[in-house]
Amino acid sequence: MSQDGPTAVERFLNGIIPENPTYRQILGICPTLAVTNTMESAMTMAGTVLFVLVCSNVLTSLIRGLLKPHLRILVFTLTIAAFVTIADRFLAAYMYDMSKVLGPYIPLVIVNCIIIARCEICAAKQGVWTAFMDAVGQSLGFMLGLMSIATIREILGFGTWFGKWLGWRVIPVTAPEHWSTWVIMILPPGAFITLGLLMGVMNWIEAKHSARAKKATVAA
Partner 1 sequence: MPSPAIHIAPAPHLFGGALTTQRMMFDVLLALVPVLVAALWQFRLYAVIQLAICMVSAVAAEALFTAMRKKPILVRDGSALVTGAILAFSLPAKAPWYAGAVGSFVAIGIGKVIFGGVGQNIFNPAMLGRAFAMIAFPAALGASAYVVPDSPIDGLTHATPLTALKMLGQSTGLLPLFLGATNGSIGETSALACLLGGAYLCLRRTASWEIPAGVIAATAVIGLLVQWFSPVAGWTVLHELCGGALLFGAFFIATDPVSSPLAPRGKFVFGLGVGALVMLIRKLSGYPEGVMFSVLIMNALVPLINRATIPTPVGGPVPAKKAA
**Contacts with partner 1, residue ranges (CB under 8 A):** 176-180, 182-185, 187, 189, 193
Q: How far is CA 61 from CA 26, 67, 115, 177, in A?
A: 24, 10, 13, 58
The H or E element spanning position 169 is strand 168-169
| Shortest CB 199 distance to partner 1, Å | 12
Comparison of 90 and 182: residue with beta carbon closer to partner 1: 182
Q: How far is the CB of 198 from partner 1 (least distance, A)?
A: 14
Pick the closer one to partner 1 by CB: 18 or 200: 200
Q: How far is the CB of 38 from partner 1 (least distance, A)?
A: 17
Cβ contacts of 60-69, under 8 Å, gap ≥ 24:
60/119, 60/123, 60/124, 60/131, 61/122, 61/123, 61/124, 61/126, 61/127, 61/128, 61/130, 61/131, 61/132, 62/128, 64/1, 64/123, 64/124, 64/125, 65/1, 67/124
Smallest separation, CB 189 to partner 1 (Å): 7
Nearer to partner 1, 183 or 205 (CB): 183
Nearer residue to partner 1 within complex by CB, 85 or 181: 181
